[in-house]
Amino acid sequence: MPSPAPALSPAARRRLRRKMLILATGLGVGGLAVLAFLDRIPLPLRLTVGLTDLVASAVLFVVVRQKFGPPPPAA
């Protein structure tokens, strides 16, 4: 049986959450950019790549929400 993962400090959890949110946002923006601005790529390939990026972004947002909970209240 594998050993449990070590607990992260609160600062490390905040950094990890921030990194994952930046990655998810980047994927979303990239997916929208592919769908909207890359006219030289054939439409089926453009749709596949753009929508795959958007789905991956949505999955990352869900993972962040489930792993780290809702965002802290603004101060």
Instruction: Identify the DSSP state of 22.
Output: H
Which class for 66: exposed (0-12), middle (13-18), buried (19 or more C-beta within 10 A)? Answer: exposed
Task: Return the closest-CA partner of residue 66 out of 9, 4, 24.
Answer: 24
* pLDDT values of the chain reduced to their tens digit, one per residue, 75 residues: 766 667 778 888 889 999 999 999 999 999 999 999 999 999 999 999 999 999 999 999 999 999 888 776 776
pTM of the model: 0.80
Task: Return the closest-CA partner of residue 14 out of 63, 54, 71, 52.
Answer: 71
The domain ranges of the chain are 35-69
